């Protein structure tokens, strides 16, 4: 298990969320984060345009996610507590402004946390919604071919370490950081076969942060389609030089995610 005093999961407890103008609906599926957090989008980001990333989802426990199907959200395992029936989570989709009257809000019915998840690696989970939403979905990488280059990150989490959650969806670009370099930064805490790193190692300044957990890291594939290559997982602080963001390596778990989604029937 990682030292959570240093390496913090990027989810925000419901009680810590403070955002002028609205409040996220609390639920019983609290983030399974045993350590302290800097507090309740994306550091160094800019506003995303309405409809730019239509598969982005905000979850009421203080995490992000992406529509894997129109009725299933892919998020991080540490954002949920185990698997089973769960009607406490509200997914908000279809907007970049969480205050928008056009927001689509749907309750959860089931949660499936990655089998064998114990806080290290395997940081993915699926949330089945009560009904399908009429929005595009984000396909996942089923090959490591796209685990390189520059990636896009997006979320409604803190825009600075220790900052508050954001009303508007923010986006940024981060470059790939190889496993050996990332492993060195985190003193051996990385699980290379299951995690992928990205960020500006020398300068910092751009990163996901608390409240972005579970959201996608994505890039264009060879056909020009957006493809999810990572799931926001953890990091030391936010956007600190020398400490890239750590993401679940989606291609490693693509077949598991596909099978799990089929079992949910969504």
Q: Bigger pLDDT: 19 or 185? A: 185
d(CA 37, CA 237): 9
Q: Is 180 helix (H, G, I), strand (E, B) or coil?
A: helix
Q: Is the pLDDT at 247 greater than 60, yes or no?
A: yes
CATH: 3.40.50.720, 3.40.50.12280, 1.20.120.140, 2.40.10.10. Which one for 52-264? 2.40.10.10
Torsions phi, psi for 11 (to 5 deg) = -110, 155
Closest CA to 59 of 170, 215, 167: 215
What is the band of 8 on the pLDDT scale with cuts at 50, 70, 90?
low
User: Tens of pLDDT along 188-219?
Assistant: 899 999 999 999 999 999 999 999 999 999 99
Task: Report the C-alpha gap between 137 and 13 in whole angstroms.
Answer: 27
Mean pLDDT of 34-53: 72
Q: What is the pLDDT of residues 160-170, one digit of tens each?
A: 999 999 999 99
Annotated domain spans of the chain: 52-264
Q: Rounded to 5 degrees, what are φ and ψ at 239?
A: 60, 25
**Is it the case that residue 22 has pLDDT exceeding 70?**
no
Retrieve residue 90's tokens. 């509200």
pLDDT category at 36 given cuts 50, 70, 90 is very low
- Return the pLDDT at 188: 86
pLDDT at 53: 98
Work out the mean pLDDT of the chain and round it to a whole number: 88
Burial of 120 (0-12, 13-18, 19+ CB in 10 A): middle
Which parts of the chain fold into alpha helices (H)?
A: 179-185, 250-264
- Catalytic residue positions, numbered: 78, 123, 213
The DSSP 8-state label assigned to residue 104 in this structure reads E
């Amino acid at each position: 298990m990682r030292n959570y005093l240093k390496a913090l999961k990027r989810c925000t407890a419901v009680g810590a969320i403070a955002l002028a103008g609205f409040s996220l609906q609390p639920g019983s599926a609290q983030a399974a984060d045993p350590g302290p957090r800097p507090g309740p989008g994306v550091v160094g980001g800019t506003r995303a345009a309405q409809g730019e990333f239509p598969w982005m989802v905000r979850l009421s426990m203080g995490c992000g996610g992406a529509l894997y199907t129109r009725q299933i959200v892919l998020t991080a395992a540490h954002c949920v507590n185990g698997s089973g029936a769960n009607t406490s989570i509200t997914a908000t989709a279809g907007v970049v402004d969480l205050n928008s009257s056009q927001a689509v809000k749907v309750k959860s019915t089931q949660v499936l946390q990655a089998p064998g998840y114990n806080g290290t690696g395997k940081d993915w989970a699926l949330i089945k919604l009560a009904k399908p939403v009429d929005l595009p979905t984000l396909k996942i990488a089923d090959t490591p071919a796209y685990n390189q280059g520059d990636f896009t990150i997006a979320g409604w989490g803190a825009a600075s370490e220790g900052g508050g959650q954001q009303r508007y969806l923010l986006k940024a670009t981060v470059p790939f950081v190889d496993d050996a370099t990332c492993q060195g930064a985190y003193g051996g805490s990385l699980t290379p076969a299951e995690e992928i790193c990205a960020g500006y190692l020398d300068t910092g300044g751009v990163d996901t942060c608390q409240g972005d957990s579970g959201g996608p890291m994505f890039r264009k594939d060879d056909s020009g389609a957006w493809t999810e290559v990572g799931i926001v997982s953890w990091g030391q602080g936010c956007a600190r030089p020398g400490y890239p963001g750590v993401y679940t390596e989606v291609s490693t778990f693509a077949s598991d995610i596909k099978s799990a989604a089929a079992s949910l029937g969504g």
